[in-house]
Amino acid sequence: MQFDSPVALPYHTYNSLFLSLPFRGIEETGTHLALFARVCAAGFDAGKSPKAIVEGFWNEYADKHSDAERIALLFHFVQYLERQVVLFDSVEDALFEKTHELNGAGSVNHLLLRLSQNTDRKKLLKKLTGFQLRLVLTAHPTQFYPGKVLGIINDLGQVIRKNDLSQIRLLLMQLGKTTFLNKEKPTPYDEAISLGWYLENVFYSTLPEILFHLLKNLGQDVISFENPCLLALGFWPGGDRDGNPFVTADITRAVASRLRGAILRRYYYDLRNLRRRLTFRGTEDWILAAEQKINNTLYHPDQDSYDSCQQLLDDLMKARAILINDHDGLFLDDLDLLILKIRVFGFYFASIDVRQDSRKHDAVWEAILQNWSEKTPGFSLREFQKADEETRINQLLTTPFRLDENDYADAFVKETIRSFRAIATIQAQNGELGCHRYIISNCQSAAHVAAVLALARLTIANPPFRDQELQLPDGTNAAENSGQEQATVNLDIVPLFETVEDLATAASVMEKLYTNPVYWRHLAARNNRQTIMLGFSDGTKDGGYLRANWSIYQAKEALTQVSRKYGVTVIFFDGRGGPPGARRE
């Protein structure tokens, strides 16, 4: 790191404050750490092993220390470095505007400057009405600071901007006494709480403000803009079951409830602040009523409260009409920004994605089919297993049998059924967008997708509807093909193709689904939109970096072609894995 770089210089300046903190042994730790760093660098260049490097350091600089003191010193090194990293992150955050070109290529302002003609503006507006970017926060708790540390980073950034040395030193003292370790392994719910800090302190204000700024500069009414989910959030903690047996239906519901509570509290605080400005006759009454109803929705739902975000929007729109007609639209932008936030986040904040491995579904269906075979005359498990894939898919998707968790002794079968029913509960409380996608890991066939849709139809389907007029791509009548009504499932089934082999066959898998009458009708009820997730890590394991990327590119081309052939809008979900922000759509 260059000492005179925009970040390094203030970092080294503030880092020197560490040595002045009144903590026992901190000066010794800092001094020994510098020596240890030099020994490690020299030992690495000399080709020594880590053990030899450490032993050499003990012999040269800590020969009088006991084994316990040596181990304690290593722990002090770790603690010291952790806090130095936090300080560096805080300096980076504080100087972000100085170290980055905020109005350069890729920024909203740069985009707006390029719109030199009215024709370009119209093209952009047309694109924005059908475009959506979803940032999906994944369950990687080890890559995040605890919430208490995030708070210190945020506060440090603010005082560093002011170059307030006394406050910086005070916060460094707080940092020195704040533990970075959890006493117990975090649960999936703890992971959700950790990520929730970013939702409340970063995304809640940032996403709507970007959208507000863009629409205002394009001359659009932010209240009536038809695509408020242009920028949206996805959420995996509490929903991602793949490889995590601790994610249960109860956890998923608890995380959804936490998200709902978090966004309602943000609305409540904004309404309180807004009431300090909208002190006008008529308008003030509606804002005060909305504030009270939000509070009731949070803490006294049996009293006058909101059942949906649309009810809240209706009240605010009444306040807006009075503000415009009677008070010259004073502070209208403040009210409009809050209305836009509600349209963006609803009562769910971020959409929980449920994910499970296809092999788990196979095991569940094996138990279900065995149960049906034993209790249902005319159904043969052996005949089902011998049938071709198309026949098995049709049987699963048109089965008239009931599905009751009490019919099964296996705990995982029970839990799977509960997980699907939890989706319905979340949609009833948070709105459909609160949990509307089910991702199938290790998806290798059309049957894997059909298995999930069949489970959803048997657990969370809405009352059936008649669709005799719906036509399949080959021109035949869908209802005639199936011979029965189709229950609606408010859930997007998302196959995840990840290995090189699965990516190569993805298009043929989707074509089988597009030509299946029941799945076709399900897509029609979902506005003919199909989300497909394309993974990266397993493909890299199979064929290396270049082959994985080439396989994903070829899969996207093939999937786009087959989807267009059947009139389906395909939405690609790129699963890159790893650090925050690595998954996007």
The structure tokens 């304690």 sit at 72
Q: CA separation (Å) from 497 to 136, 442, 539, 555? A: 18, 6, 9, 9
Tens-digit pLDDT profile for residues 494-545: 999 989 899 999 999 999 999 999 999 999 999 999 999 998 655 555 556 7
Helix (H, G, I), strand (E, B) or coil at 271: helix
| 315: exposed, middle or buried (Cβ count in 10 Å: 0-12, 13-18, 19+) | middle
* Rg (the chain; Cα; Å): 28
What was the pLDDT predicted at 51?
Answer: 93
Q: CA separation (Å) from 555 to 74, 443, 521, 533, 578? A: 49, 14, 24, 11, 22
What was the pLDDT predicted at 483?
Answer: 41
Which pairing describes strands 231-235 and 133-137: parallel, antiparallel, or unpaired? parallel
Of residues 195, 196, 156, 194, the one with CA closest to residue 176:
156
The structure tokens 């005799």 sit at 468
What was the pLDDT predicted at 313?
Answer: 98
Helix (H, G, I), strand (E, B) or coil at 439: strand
Question: Cα(12)–Cα(87) distance, rounded to whole angstroms?
Answer: 10
Tens-digit pLDDT profile for residues 19-40: 677 666 666 787 888 899 999 9
The tally of CA atoms less than 13 A away on the side-chain side of residue 385 is 10
Angle between helices 446-459 and 517-525 (to 10 degrees): 60
The 3 state secondary structure assigned to 171-229 is HHHHHHHCCCCCCCCCCHHHHHHHHHHHHHHHHHHHHHHHHHHHHHHCCCCCCCCCCHH
Which amino acid, 379? Answer: F
- pTM value is 0.85
What was the pLDDT predicted at 216?
Answer: 93
Full pLDDT tens readout for the chain, 585 residues:
554 567 777 887 887 777 677 666 666 787 888 899 999 999 999 999 999 999 999 998 888 889 998 888 888 888 888 888 888 888 888 888 888 787 888 788 888 888 877 778 888 988 898 888 999 998 765 556 777 888 888 898 889 988 888 898 899 888 888 887 777 778 889 889 888 988 999 999 999 999 999 999 998 999 999 999 999 999 999 999 998 889 999 999 999 999 999 999 999 999 999 999 999 999 999 999 999 999 999 999 999 999 999 999 999 999 999 999 999 999 999 999 999 999 999 999 999 999 999 999 999 999 999 999 888 888 888 899 999 999 999 999 998 777 889 999 999 999 999 999 999 999 999 999 999 999 999 999 999 999 999 999 999 986 543 444 444 455 555 444 444 455 689 999 999 998 989 999 999 999 999 999 999 999 999 999 999 999 865 555 555 678 788 899 999 999 999 999 999 999 999 876 544 433 444
DSSP H helix total and E strand total for the chain: 24, 8
